Structure 1
Amino acid sequence: MRARTALPVALTVTLLGLMGCGAGSGADDDAAGASRSSSASPAQPPASSDPDRSATPGPVPEVLRFTATTVDGKPFDGSTLTGKPTVLWFWAPWCPKCKAQAAETAKVAADRAGEVNVVGVAGLDKNAAMKDFVADTGTSGFPHLSDEKGDIWKRFEVTEQSRYVIVDKDGRTVYEGVLPSGEGLAEKVAGLTG
């Protein structure tokens, strides 16, 4: 009888230990990204017909149904990302890890232009600092959203800066993690574009 109760207790302790350890460490982020990929499935388009949606290929996945404003003050509609793999890079202007990721992120955006969407999601500071970061890091080749209130960060369950969320063309999250200095980003994107 003791063996039957010991196994569930040991499993529970092990699982709780795994969940609490390594949050944001990078190594365990692959597992977190894999577990999220099954939870985000594409949603069906709304019943009403919207003339602006005609330019968007296929149904808009629920995860891409958001609007925002860029650091330059322009409106941004997440539905425009539909149909292509998308890299969402969550950063903060004062973050040294984010600055270290900037060059590789900009390179992937330039190398995969037309194949992959790359969008920066700036938070944890004011818009003026966000604009300075974009100018200082040479990352103006792709859009950056000003998420001062953290709405998009919450939508993608991002709890710390310097995170990538990679969504496939169908809107499924296939990776969520740090990627120090952007290392491995090009390979992850290449795997989605064939």
Structure 2
Amino acid sequence: MSETAPVASPASAGASDVPAVPLDPAAVVTPLPVFSSTTLEGEPVTQADYEGKPTIIWFWAPWCSVCRSEAPTLSKVASELGGSVDVVGVAALGSIDEMKTFVSDTGIENFTQLADPDAQVWGVFGVASQPAFAFISADGSIEIVQGSIDAQEILERAAALS
């Protein structure tokens, strides 16, 4: 990706009516971009933790109503995948406390959640609003999908990552 789009703020977010569409095919990136973050519990995480592993990254914000309604789907998907594909949430544009409350309220404790309060991880993936997904294959190719998608589509995309 040659350029990072601006990140949506709570005031400008309107992702609920945005259909899920892949970004321009030129936005598919290889290799995995360099990033570092921490989990909501403060454990360090970098791209090296996911290199060579099929991974789904879900980009969300704690104030996003679409993300809130989508969260149980991601929890179900993570359980169904059973570790064959890593599922990771990247929360931005809120405080750590708001992120932790969202995780607790929506029951998504069963997969890793990264804190990205300033949307730096979002930026390296070119994500401009939420929800969004990065589907990362074992060979490091990435497809970014902007918008909400259902469990069946997530599982179909996950099956293609290995």
Q: TM-score range by the shorter chain?
A: 0.7 to 0.9
Tell me which protein shows more strand as a share of its residues.
2
Matched, 1:36 2:36: no
Q: Which residue is 2:19 aligned to?
A: 26
Q: Which residue is 1:3 aligned to?
A: none
Tell me which protein shows more helix as a share of its residues.
1
Distance 1:33-1:166 versus aligned 2 partners, 3 A rule? farther
Q: Which residue is 2:10 aligned to?
A: none
Q: How many residue pairs end up in the alignment?
A: 147
Higher relative contact order (CA 8 A, sep 6+): 2
Matched, 1:70 2:39: yes
SS in structure 2 opposite 1:192?
A: coil
Unmatched 5+ stretches in structure 2: 1-14
User: C-alpha deviations, 1:52-99, integer Å up to 9, x for none?
Assistant: xxxxxxxxx4x2x32211111111122111122111111011111001
More deviation, 69-78/91-100: 69-78
CA RMSD, 1 decimal? 2.0
Q: Distance in 1 between matches of 2:155 and 2:40?
A: 25
Q: Distance in 2 between matches of 1:131 and 1:181?
A: 24
The structure 1 segments of at least 4 consecutive aligned residues displaced by more than 6 Å after TM superposition are none
Unmatched 5+ stretches in structure 1: 1-22, 43-60
User: With structure 1 as the length reference, what TM-score do the two structures score?
Assistant: 0.69
SS in structure 2 opposite 1:93?
A: coil
CA shift for structure 1 position 130: 0.1
Q: Which residue is 2:81 aligned to?
A: 112
Distance 1:34-1:113 versus aligned 2 partners, 3 A rule? farther
Distance 1:183-1:34 versus aligned 2 partners, 3 A rule? farther
Larger Cα-atom Rg: 1
